[in-house]
Amino acid sequence: MIELENLGFSYGEGEMLSDISLKLAPGSFHFLTGPSGSGKTTFLKLCYGALQPTAGHARLFDQDVRHMSRDDMAMTRRRIGVVHQDCQFLDHLPIADNVALPLTVSGRDSLEEVANLKELLDWVGLGKRASAYPPELSGGERQRAALARAVIMSPDVVLADEPTGNVDWDMSQRLLQLLIELNRMGKTIMIATHDLNLIRTAKSQVQARVLRIAGRRLQLAGADL
């Protein structure tokens, strides 16, 4: 699905990531850890083609990102749902319309898809908030809306960048349960987080691999997690 081979990434003269190799298998669950500034967000961007490696290769569904056309990339990104750390929405649209934007852009806003949207909002606990506007939502509601938007196209892979970073423990548990449910549906999940308690909780429920970025390289975290 996503394959990185001897991947490196540099900003100008500075090397951010170096010699990283990883395969995300279908249905796998990964956590990505590392200190602030270690490159977790950059790594996720490389995983969905928002950035191209400056060394090595990144392949998305057997296609090298360097050789993909703009149309190829657009189609591939429909198979990868991303929950961004900053949860940007269009404040002039109700949250239901914000969640449905990927459907609208792709021309899939049929009656059937609208029914699926209602079911999805109910699943993330926002069914009664569908007509609310983004500034009216709490931090936890915004994160759940971001997750709903990321999976509205039924992607094969979900990448979440610090999805629980700005919410309390109870809400972080709720978000984690939604991601675990997605994994049990067969989705490949990767969560970037610094919350080791969240990782410990997840590992009691799902077989998760914990990766750590340290010294510009990707390492398998120890069993003490």
Tell me the mean pLDDT in the region 169-185: 92
How buried is 178 (Cβ within 10 angstroms: 0-12 exposed, 13-18 middle, 19+ buried)? buried
194-221: pLDDT as tens digits: 889 999 999 889 999 999 999 999 998 7
pLDDT at residue 221, rounded to an integer: 75
Higher pLDDT, 166 or 19: 19
Rg (CA), the chain: 17
Asked if residue 105 has pLDDT above 90, the reply is: no
pLDDT at residue 224, rounded to an integer: 43
The overall average pLDDT reported for the chain is: 90
Report whether 33 contacts 221 (CB < 8 A).
yes
Tell me the mean pLDDT in the region 139-165: 93
Asked if residue 34 has pLDDT above 70, the reply is: yes
CB neighbours of 35 closer than 8 A, spacing ≥ 6? 194, 214
